[in-house]
Chain A
C-alpha cells in the first residue's frame, strides 16, 4: 500500500496542518518509506494476541469526589496569546 500526495493532503487536513507543496512531497516520500518498513509487522501472525494498551495492570483510576480550589482565572489566562474580559479571544466563528 503506498500513499499519494492526495492522501498526505487529506491527513494534513485531519491533523490541522497546512503544508507547503515541498513539505507535501517530502512527507509523501518519507511516510511511504516508514509505512513500507512498518509492513514488516505483517510477517507476524497476531490473530490470537491481545493488544497492549498499557504495560501496568491499572484500570479505572479515580480520585475521591472532593470539592477543591481550581486555578484562578488570572492564572489560566496568563499564557493566553489573546484574551478579553476573562475569556480566551479567538476570531469570530459566526458572521
Chain B
C-alpha cells in the first residue's frame, strides 16, 4: 500500500513508532511529483532542498525525543498566495515572479510550529481570480482524472496535487468557492472554515471580507486534523475571531441520528446536471439510512448571489491590488517616462486579463455616481442571502447540496465567456457571502469524473459539518477512488 493511502493521524503514529522516517515520506512526495507533475503542473515552486533539510532536522528531533507537533513530518503543499519566508511566492502572476517574502503568513508559521514539511508552492488562478486555474500566468493545472479538463479554481494546484498523491495535504484559499469547487472537480475533500476562524495574515488579499484559508485533503479525518493545526485567534489579523477551538477529531463520532438536513430546491433545480443531482440524491439516501432526516427548503435569494459577489469581490480586489505599483516590490516596467508611466506600465504588463477585468469592474462599481447602485446594493443583497441561511438554520442542522452544478469542464471551453465561467460558482458563492463553513467531499463519479457533495453549517459549527461528512464517508467508498495516472 502506498504511503499516501494512510490517514494523517496514522502516519503520525507510524513516524512516532519509527516504521517510516520523515525523510522517507518527503522523498516519497518528491518522487511522485517528479513522475507526475510534468503532466499536472500543480507546483510553481518546489522547495526540494528546504524540504529535505526540514525532514532531516525532524528525524533528528524524533531521535532525540523532543516533543512533536500535530503535523509532525507530514509533507504539505501551500497555495502560492500564502506567503512563505524566503520561499518564492508569486500568486501565479507576472507581477510577483521573483517575490521572496520577508515574513511568514500566520498559517505558514503554524505549519512550521506543528512540524509539517513544506514541499512547495501550488499553482492557482492569478491572485486567486478564477474558477478553472486557466488564469495562472505560469500555465494551467490539469485535472488528474482527465488531463484535458480543468482542475477547478482558484486552488486548482492544491486540489490536483492532493488528488495526484503528490503531497499528503495542501492549503488553499476560498473566496467564492476556490477550495470547494476544485476539491469537487478533483475528487478530494476541501474545507472552507467560518470567516475569521483561520488567520488571513500573510494571505495576499483578493477580497478581504470573503477570503478564507482552509485544508485540502484526501479524507474528512485529515481535514479535521489539519484544521486543528491552523484554526485560532491571531492578533495580527483584525478580522480574526476570538472563539474557542474545539477538538475536531473527537467530533467525528459517526453518529448522525436525528440530524435535520435542509436541501435547497435552488441547489438541485435547473442548471444542475442530472448526473450531479442523482449523485447528491443518492448521498442523501445514505444519510437517511444513518438516521438523518431531510426536507426540501428554499434559499430564495440564491439567484442573486453571483451578481452581488462579483460586484463586492471585484470592488475589494480593485482596492487591494492598488498597492501593486512596481515601487516597493514586484515587477517594474520603467521605460523612461515619469512616475505615472511607471505605475501604468508596471500594472498593465504585470497583471493578466482576468485580474485587469476585475480591477476595472471594481473600480467602476466604487466610482462616484455608481457606488450606491452597485456596491451598496450588493452589500444589502448580501444581508438578504445571509438571512436566508439564518432562517433555515433555525430548523435544520446542516444544508446539503452539490458543490458545483457540473463536473470538471474541458480546458478552454469557457475562457471567452467570463459570465458563464462565473456562474460555475453559483452553489459555493452564497456560503461565502454568508461567511459560514462548508466542506466539499466526493460523492460519486459521473462519466468517470468526480462529483462533490457540499455540506454547509452554522457559523463556527465546523464540528457538525465534519461529523456529517465523516459519517457519510465511513459508509461509502467514494473517497477511496483514485484517478488513473
- Chain A residues proximal to chain B, CB less than 8 Å: 3, 7-8, 11-12, 14-19, 23, 27, 30-31, 33-35, 37-38, 40-44, 46, 49-56, 58, 61, 63, 71, 75-76, 78-82, 88, 90-93
Contact = CB atoms under 8 A, between A and B. Distances in A.
B328 A16 contact: no
Interface of B: 98-100, 102-103, 195-196, 209, 235, 238-239, 241, 301, 303-304, 306-308, 310-311, 318, 322, 325-332, 334, 336-345, 347-348, 351, 353, 356-357, 359-361, 363-364, 367, 374, 376-384, 386, 418-419, 422, 433-435, 459
Contact of A58 (B239, B327, B334): B239
A63 B348 CA distance: 37
Given A15-B359, A17-B347, A30-B357, A52 B386 contact: yes
A50 to B, nearest CB: 6
Contacts of B434: 55
B330 to A, nearest CB: 7
B24 to A, nearest CB: 35
B382 A51 contact: yes
Contacts of B322: 16
Given A18-B345, A81-B332, A54 B239 contact: yes
A4 to B, nearest CB: 12
B365 to A, nearest CB: 8
B367 A27 contact: no
Contact of B419 (A37, A42, A52, A61): A37
A12 B359 CA distance: 9
A17 B342 contact: no
B304 A41 contact: yes
B86 to A, nearest CB: 10
A26 B298 CA distance: 37
A91 B418 contact: no
B344 A11 contact: no
Contact of A38 (B325, B374, B380): B374
Contact of B376 (A17, A51, A58): A51
B380 A46 contact: yes
Main secondary structure of the interface of A (DSSP, over half): loop
B304 A34 contact: no
Given A33-B419, A50-B383, A90 B339 contact: yes
Among A12, A27, A34, chain B packs the most CB atoms within 10 A around the CB of A34
A11 to B, nearest CB: 5
A20 to B, nearest CB: 8
B209 A79 contact: no
A91 to B, nearest CB: 5
A61 B238 contact: yes
Nearest to A50: B383
A49 to B, nearest CB: 4
B383 A81 contact: no
Contacts of B342: 90-91
Contacts of B330: 79, 81
13 contacts: A3-B364, A14-B363, A15-B347, A15-B360, A27-B360, A30-B357, A49-B383, A50-B380, A52-B382, A55-B195, A71-B103, A79-B328, A90-B342
Contact of A11 (B235, B367, B382): B367
B360 A17 contact: yes
Closest 8 CB pairs of A and B: A55-B435, A51-B379, A81-B332, A79-B329, A46-B380, A61-B238, A18-B344, A15-B363
Contact of A78 (B100, B345, B364, B381): B100
A90 B195 contact: no
Given A17-B344, A50-B383, 18 more contacts: A14-B367, A15-B318, A17-B348, A27-B360, A33-B419, A41-B307, A41-B378, A46-B381, A49-B383, A51-B379, A52-B379, A55-B209, A56-B196, A58-B238, A61-B239, A79-B98, A80-B329, A91-B342
A52 to B, nearest CB: 4
A21 B159 CA distance: 37
A71 B102 contact: yes
B377 A41 contact: yes
A79 B356 contact: no
A16 B329 contact: no
A17 B359 contact: yes
B360 A8 contact: yes
Given A15-B359, A58-B241, A79-B328, A38 B311 contact: yes
A65 to B, nearest CB: 13
Contacts of A44: 301, 304, 381, 384
B209 A53 contact: yes
B309 to A, nearest CB: 10
Contacts of A12: 360
Contact of A63 (B100, B235, B344, B459): B235
A95 B341 CA distance: 15
Contacts of A78: 100, 102
Contact of A34 (B356, B361, B384, B435): B361
B377 A46 contact: yes
Contacts of B329: 79-81
Nearest to B374: A38
Contacts of B195: 55-56
